[in-house]
Chain A
Amino acid sequence: MFGIDVRQKAWSAGLIVLFFVAWELFCLMTGMSDLVLPRPSQVFVTLVQRFPVLWPHIVQTLATTMLGFVLGVALGVALGAIIGVSKTAYDTCYPLLIGFSSIPKVAVVPIFVLWFGSGTVPAVLTALSICFFPIVVNIATGLATTEPELEDVLKALGASKLDILWNVGLPRTMPFFFASLKVAISYAFVGAVLSETVASNRGIGNVMMTASSNFNVPLVFAGLFVLAGLGVALYVVFSLIEGQVTGWATRKNDVIAT
């Protein structure tokens, strides 16, 4: 059992290494100009050399992402709880929510800039608006799918709606919630970088924009690597928290026969 898990991980790691090696070889063999596609080794060197300059931008991007994410989660949970508990609210709000979620978020950045100027605020708002939707949907779904029999059992005991929400609805929603958190953190990240690219003078998005207008292509790619690294790190953090909190939802895999 243990061996298969390790082997699986080795394959995953191998694929990543293979990807970079292939990229490196491709550039070397075709004599690709680093103005078009720099070799990964060049990108890593640039990344290390320019790290002190990149660092404040990394912090900026992370901060806006997290702020937008936290606000988005708060809003998403509140809204999801409301429309998940009440069927009427669910049916009423859903079309409007779908409408909002369908708007490409690049399109709203100029509006945020118009209202709040360029910089941190539109980045936070973009992150928020892009990440709250999956949370709303997941919380609402989790709450709306509570077994009616169990609800009857508890109602027959005199349980209030709040009792049922607290003891059954919310814990039941946790796997949905954490699954949505992983999606939402990536979305928030995309939103923040997007807004930085369009309208900011700080953050990784802005660094990449500036670098590309200076034809400093290795730096553009260095920015990309940073984004990928941060994205994976955030995803891992939330996966670990998820495993801790809602392990019961995935534990079916290792059934103990009784």
Chain B
Amino acid sequence: MRMQPNAQFDGQPVPEGSATIAIELSEASVTFGRGDRAVPALSKTTLKIADGEFVALVGPSGCGKSTILRLVSGLVQPTSGVVIVGGREVAARAMRVGMAFQNPTMLPWMTIERNIMLPLKIVEPFRPKFRKLRKTEFRDKANALLEQVGLKGFGNRYPWQLSGGMLQRANLCRALIHEPRMLLLDEPFGALDQFTREELWAILQNLWMTHKPTVLLVTHDLREAGFLASRICVMSARPGRILDDSRVEFARPRTVAMTFEPDFVALNQKLRAFIEDARSAAEQGAG
């Protein structure tokens, strides 16, 4: 059951084919701590995500959504079960995926451009070429991404000169600069106001449609999940399990106006019902 220590996703594109599985969790459980103080975070979760899919994980807080992200990125090892990413078992090594959190964590002493290039300084095959190409090819790459998220010309600004929404866009650029096959987003827009958030949904949709990475998005916002995802997984309260797994078939590119149409609202309500059930079940369990 244990994995080979050197197995790692090398960042190479997975072979073409619609049925290629990018992420596979089988009976994966995670327990933090040991003995009496053990906290089960995820229980026997099975989930298959195809290459290029956009999957949203929703559920009550503390249900293990972030734990799934951390499993896929290699930051956490499953206590039992198997996690296969990019055709290989996740080992002790990280998976070179792009990640973005609610907090944009741009380094304040670097310009936005250099912040975005940071992954190139670390990830193979860019790493050995970083010193040589950081002023030419890599910088162009960073600026091309910045342009795509509407931040053209902001590359040489410092993080404190940008608003929260702009920083979060830069954060998405940083997560994508090394062309990862997988993008893991943990409530990336949670701290933004409604309008900025909707603006960033469109930007993220656009990035996904052009770069086609496999995306795993953790969110509390059901409209966000419906707008962005091609598939939504609802999770139960701690320890998390997947309760419902449904496809979202709305045509792309989706617009904010669509989120007020009856079909969309119906989907929203269905998801809401699942989460309410999960929450009340958790409360009964606790009481």
| Residue positions of A touching B, CB distance < 8 A | 147, 149-150, 152-159, 163, 167-168, 171-172, 174, 246, 248-249, 251-252, 255-256, 258
Contacts and interface: CB of A to CB of B under 8 A. Distances in A.
Contacts of A159: 94, 122
A167 B121 contact: yes
Contact of A157 (B102, B122, B163): B122
Interface string B72-102: 0111000000000000000001111111111
B107 interface: yes
B161 A155 contact: no
A200 B114 CA distance: 53
B119 interface: yes
Contacts, number: 80
Contacts of B97: 156-157
Contacts of B161: 255-256, 258
A147 B158 contact: no
B105 interface: yes
Contacts of B100: 153
B119 A147 contact: no
Interface residues of B, number: 38
18 contacts: A147-B105, A150-B107, A152-B75, A152-B99, A156-B95, A156-B98, A156-B99, A158-B95, A158-B122, A158-B124, A159-B122, A163-B121, A168-B107, A171-B109, A249-B109, A258-B161, A258-B162, A258-B163
B99 A158 contact: no
Contacts of A163: 121-122
Contacts of A252: 160
A172 B106 CA distance: 12
Contacts of A249: 108-109
B157 interface: yes
B178 interface: yes
A171 B107 contact: yes
A147 B161 CA distance: 20
Interface string B230-270: 00000000000000000000000000000000000000000
B46 interface: no
B224 to A, nearest CB: 19
Given A152-B75, A255-B160, A158 B109 contact: no
Nearest to A245: B109
A248 B175 CA distance: 24
A200 B47 CA distance: 76
B101 A158 contact: no
Contact of A156 (B75, B102, B166): B75
A152 B93 CA distance: 13
In the complex, the 4 A-B pairs of residues with the closest C-beta atoms, listed nearest first: A150-B105, A156-B73, A248-B109, A149-B101
B269 to A, nearest CB: 33
B122 A152 contact: no
B184 interface: yes
A149 B107 contact: no
B119 A149 contact: no
Contacts of B214: none
B8 interface: yes
A157 B179 CA distance: 11
Nearest to A252: B160
B123 interface: yes
Contact of B8 (A147, A158, A246, A258): A158
A158 B10 CA distance: 10
Given A153-B105, A154-B122, A168-B107, A251 B75 contact: no
Contacts of B178: 157
Contact of A149 (B73, B96, B98, B105): B105
